[in-house]
Amino acid sequence: MLKKIFVSLIFCLSSASYAFDLEDYATTYRATRDAYLKAANEMKLATGPYKAAREAYRQVAFSYTKSLTNGKTELDQSKIAGSNLDVMAKLYND
């Protein structure tokens, strides 16, 4: 049974007029890749301001919560300050 399927497949492929064209594939690949790279770059540029605004809002919310609870919060300010530096470094290094 498997031999019949294999022979049929070989016959169909050999009799077909389809031929793989590497130039057509390369052209399609390059166009698709260029579109992807452009979209990825635009997304990267758009997320920078969002991340900066998110971190600023986070700092304000922490400060507000701290003022409401008289400084007694479960979060450590040094952890937030450290993560803030990491976020800023990533934004400017990317």
Q: How far is CA 23 from CA 20, 27, 32, 36, 37, in A?
A: 9, 6, 14, 20, 21
Is residue 9, in this structure, part of any structural domain at all? no
Is residue 31, in this structure, part of any structural domain at all? yes
Is residue 40, in this structure, part of any structural domain at all? yes
Is residue 2, in this structure, part of any structural domain at all? no
Residue 16 above 90 pLDDT?
Answer: no
Please state, as a whole number, how many other Cβ atoms lie within 10 Å of the Cβ of residue 71: 9
Name the residue among 37, 81, 35, 41 with its Cα closest to residue 58: 81
Total domains in the fold of the chain: 1
How confident is the model over 56-65, as pLDDT tens digits? 999 998 888 8
Is residue 15, in this structure, part of any structural domain at all? no
Is residue 45, in this structure, part of any structural domain at all? yes
Q: Whole domain around residue 47: which residue ranges?
A: 20-93
Is residue 82, in this structure, part of any structural domain at all? yes
CA distance 70 to 76: 14
Residue 39 above 90 pLDDT?
Answer: yes
Is residue 14, in this structure, part of any structural domain at all? no
Give the H/E segment covering residue 88. Answer: helix 77-93
